[in-house]
Amino acid sequence: MRLLITGAQGQLGHDVAQAAIQQGFDTLALTRSTLDITRADRVDRTIDARQPDLVVNCAAYTAVDRAEEESEQAFAANRDGPSHLATTCARHGIPLIHVSTDYVFDGTKDSPYTESDPLRPINTYGRSKAAGEAAVQAMTNRFVILRTAWVFGAHGNNFVRTMLRLGQERPSLRVVNDQVGCPTFTGHLAEAIMGIAAIYRTETECPWGVYHYGGQPPISWHGFADHIFTTARTMGVALKIEALEAIPTSAYPLPAKRAANSRLDCSKFERVFGLQAGAWEDGVRTVISAWLASQAIKPPE
């Protein structure tokens, strides 16, 4: 079975490609330089030539704050790109797994968001991702849209790696404590995507639709940062950080609005696919181990 993976240069695309190779899929891992999904002609030409059995779209514009000034680029990657993929996949009868985000919600709900909750994005990035979901659903009926949140991995830029860097550079940090979500390790998310691919490989069909997948348990950004520093110290990372101050969102204004509640109800995914969302604490340890290795420091036994 041949998988075509877009956005393979990103932290998620990298891990999806590695997981696919490890599980024996014939893997075509394409970066933006080899497939720019915003170009319909290139999408057509690539899929026509490669003839994959399944497409996994990990390509996206993810600079949340910059998207407020670069809305054209955000919509090109997050709406038009998925639309091109879905259109070509439908023409060939190829299923599409498309990764989306918690940013499609406004964060005002007082409980975890389910797949049936209305989409009310509050920033440009969220609107572009919601438009991408709509495009996929309009262009093909053989899709899995997988919404996730607070993604971090051993590769690329993310909150865990940023905290490790800042924790080595600064004696104190201020982190918001009134935004709660589901940190999601890319390795776990890649395994979940491979679980979906395996179902299609063995059964030729799949329970298509929209699903949520996010690490558990939910936590605030401040709590997440505190856990990162505590774990890093136990694993031998030398940190300068001594004080971690909890602050409200209002004390740390950013160009793009953030949702107070980004919790995702993943029970539908677990019930349908028989796969549980991973514990993000395990992912944090994996990222820290990679961080130590990059600094040529061996963690204690």
Residues labelled catalytic = 125
Token pair, residue 77, equals: 């990657």
Alpha carbon distances (Å) from 198 to 72, 86, 100, 123, 259: 36, 20, 20, 35, 34
User: Which residue, chain included where needed, has tokens 């024996």?
Assistant: 24
Side chain identity, residue 218: P
β partners of residue 75 = none
CA proximity to 208, closest of 117, 102, 89, 109:
89
Distance CA 205, CA 196 (A): 10
Residue tagged 């997988």 (tokens): 146
